[in-house]
Structure 1
Amino acid sequence: MSTISPENALIYIMVTMSAVDRAMSDNELRDIGTIVRTLPAFSDFNEERLIPVAKECAAILQEDGGLDAVFGLVRDALPPHLRETGYALAVEIAAADLSVGAEEIRLMQLLRDTLDIDKLTAAAIERGARARHMPL
């Protein structure tokens, strides 16, 4: 039995991706809010809980072994049909500031393994995000 909801798990993924480079950009934070307000996966989620859930995740990440703990919670909370969604949200947040650094790439690799996302699916998700965030 999971200790967090699937919605919380998706938020944990986005917060972790945003925080991995130690700087949560305004674009990343704005995109997290927009995703929570508009994505069907959050239709039953009370938007006012976004900040408390994000703070819960940040507190866990500060602990020794925090990343492993967050990924364990996420893996246990997400049903198989939402795992690709979780990976897609991580990629969206990584792409939000139009620059994907080494820390974000490494986190995406760890998340792919945690959620058992195959390489072809991951590549398609990543290419879609790149296309959506391409400037004119």
Structure 2
Amino acid sequence: MSETVSIHEALIYVMVITSASDAKMTDSELAAIGDMARTLPVFTDFDPADVLPAAQRCGERLQGETGLTDVLSLVADALPVHLYDTAYAMAVDVAAADMDVSREELRVLQILRDRLRLDKLTTAAIERGAIARHRRV
């Protein structure tokens, strides 16, 4: 694939594919994506107004026959290795945002772990952190 996306757009794509995997992007998940784009240090030089256009471009790319594979290739090509765990953490937080992690979201997380070659200890720590952050009283 000769196309490229920016690092910021690749991170948004990761969040969008996670949220869209179960065919319902909940308000909680959309809010989580917007919140991360506004507050995380990795988005310091990013205009939060660009989240929606980036999400729409991701959605358009996903419509193709090999959409998920194509998007994952764009993500892996755009992200430096030191941001792979960051991307995975953002995907986990989006999946956990509505307190209902679907089978489809779990599958996308698994595909993402494999595509980014993240080790089990790292992913377990990220997932455990998300459980702690999203727990309710």
TM-score by length of 1: 0.97
- How many pairs does the alignment contain? 136
Q: CA deviation at 1:48?
A: 1.3
Question: What's the CA shift for 1:83?
Answer: 0.5
Q: Deviations over 1:13-33 (max 9, x none)?
A: 001101000000000001100
Report the equivalent of 1:13. Answer: 14
Cα drift, residue 111 of structure 1: 0.1
**Once the 2 structures are TM-superposed, how far is the Cα of residue 99 of structure 1 from its aligned partner?**
1.1
Counterpart in the other structure of 1:118: 119
Q: Give me the whole-angstrom Cα distance separating, in 1, the residues matched to 2:91 and 2:48.
A: 19
Where do 5+ consecutive residues of structure 1 fail to align? none
Matched, 1:22 2:18: no
One-letter code of the match for 1:16?
A: I
The separation in 1 between residues aligned to 2:128 and 2:28, in whole angstroms, is: 19
Amino acid of the structure 2 residue aligned with 1:96: A
The equivalent of 1:100 in structure 2 is: 101
AA at the equivalent of 2:48: E
Q: Runs of 4+ in structure 1 displaced over 2 angstroms?
A: none
Task: Give the aligned partner of residue 84 of structure 2.
Answer: 83
- Equivalence for 2:110: 109
Contact 1:90 1:108 in 2 (8 A): yes
C-alpha contact (below 8 Å) 1:2/1:77 kept by paired residues: no
Give the aligned CA root-mean-square deviation in angstroms.
1.0
Q: CA deviation at 1:2?
A: 6.6
TM-superposition CA deviations, 1:32-59 (whole Å, max 9, x none)? 0000000011111111111110000000
Match of 1:127 in 2: 128
Q: Identity, % of aligned pairs?
A: 53
